[in-house]
Structure 1
C-alpha cells in the first residue's frame, strides 16, 4: 500500500514541477501567465493590430437559434398591425380567467367596438351587480390585455321575448293590447 501512495505522490510532484517550469519559461519569454480565458488574438503580421475573437453561438442565446412560436407570432402581428385585434380577441377568449368563474357563469361579452365592451347578463339582478363592479372588472381586463383595449362597459340584462310571431303581424303593443 505504501508503494501505491508513493507512486501517486511522485506523479503529483512531477506534474507540479512541470507546470511550474512551464510557467517560469513563459514568464521569461514575456508572455502573460494567468488563469482563465486568454485575451484578444494578436497578429504579428498585422502591425500589432488587435483583433477580437470571433464569438460563436455556443450555449448562449443567439438570433440564429430556434425561437418560441408565441414570440414569432407576436412579432408578425405587431408588424402587420394586428395587435389591437388580438387584444380584443383575448378579452373574449380569456373572459373566464379575467373576471372569474362565478361572473363568467352569469354574464358573457357579446361585442367590443371603439373600446366599449358590451356584456349581457343572465338576469337584471346580475346586470345591476356587474354595474356596481364595473371599475373592478375594467381593472382586471386592463391587467390581462393592457390599457386602452377596453375603456368602458355596457352591461345589459336579458332581452325581452319577442311577441312577433309569423310573417304577418299587426303593429302595436301585441297581446297586452286586448284589455285596453
Structure 2
C-alpha cells in the first residue's frame, strides 16, 4: 500500500503490535501524570525512591549488616520449611538414622544399628549378645546423646536386641525338640 491509498478512499492500514504497545504506554503515562504520580521508566524511579524511603518498604540502603535479602544457608531454609509444613518430627527421626555414628559415636555405631522408631521407642540391633548387654547398661547415656542431637521428645526409650539364633523350623508342621540331631553323626 502506498501513502496515497491510506490517505485517499482506500482501506485504512491496520495498526501493528508495536504501534498498539506504544499507544498503550502513552495512555498509561498520561493517566499517571494526571494523577500526579512519577512518570519514568521502570518502578518508582530507582535511587531517588530508595533514598527518599519510598522503595519496596525499606528505609534506605541496607548497609554492611545482615539483611533479609542476603543469601540464606540451605539448612536454615529447609529447617524453616519443615517447621512451617509440620515435618519437624519426621526430620528429627531421619537425623537419628542418618547421623547415627555422629550421635552415638563410632564405637557404638560399629557394633549396633537402629532398626525402627515407633511411638518414641527406638529399636537398636546389636551384633552380639555382649554388645546388647553393654548397650542396655549405657541406655541413659545413649538417650542423652540422642536428645542433644535431635531434641527432647523424639526418642524416649530404647529397645535393644541381640542377634537372632537360626531357626530349625521349616514348613508348617514340626516336632518339638532341639532340632535335627540325627543328621550330625
TM normalised by structure 2 equals 0.62
Q: 1:85 aligns with which of 87, 90, 113?
A: 90
User: 1:176 — aligned with what?
Assistant: 179
Runs of 4+ in 1 over 4 A off after TM superposition: none
Per-residue CA deviation, residues 91-147 of structure 1 (Å, 9 max, x unaligned), is 011111111111111111000011000000011111011000000000010011100
Measure the CA separation in 1 of the matches of 2:102 and 2:59. Answer: 48
Q: CA RMSD, aligned part only?
A: 2.2
Q: 1:157 aligns with which of 138, 159, 162?
A: 162
1:164 Cα deviation after fit: 3.8
User: 1:33 — aligned with what?
Assistant: none
Measure the CA separation in 2 of the matches of 1:67 and 1:174. Answer: 66
* Mapping of residues 87-166 of structure 1, within 5 Å: 87-165=92-170
DSSP-derived class of the 1:176 partner = coil
Aligned length: 126
Per-residue CA deviation, residues 15-71 of structure 1 (Å, 9 max, x unaligned), is xxxxxxxxxxxxxxxxxxxxxxxxxxxxxxxxxxxxxx9332222111122211111
Q: Is the 8 A contact 2:168 2:179 kept in 1?
A: no
Measure the CA separation in 1 of the matches of 2:64 and 2:107. Answer: 47
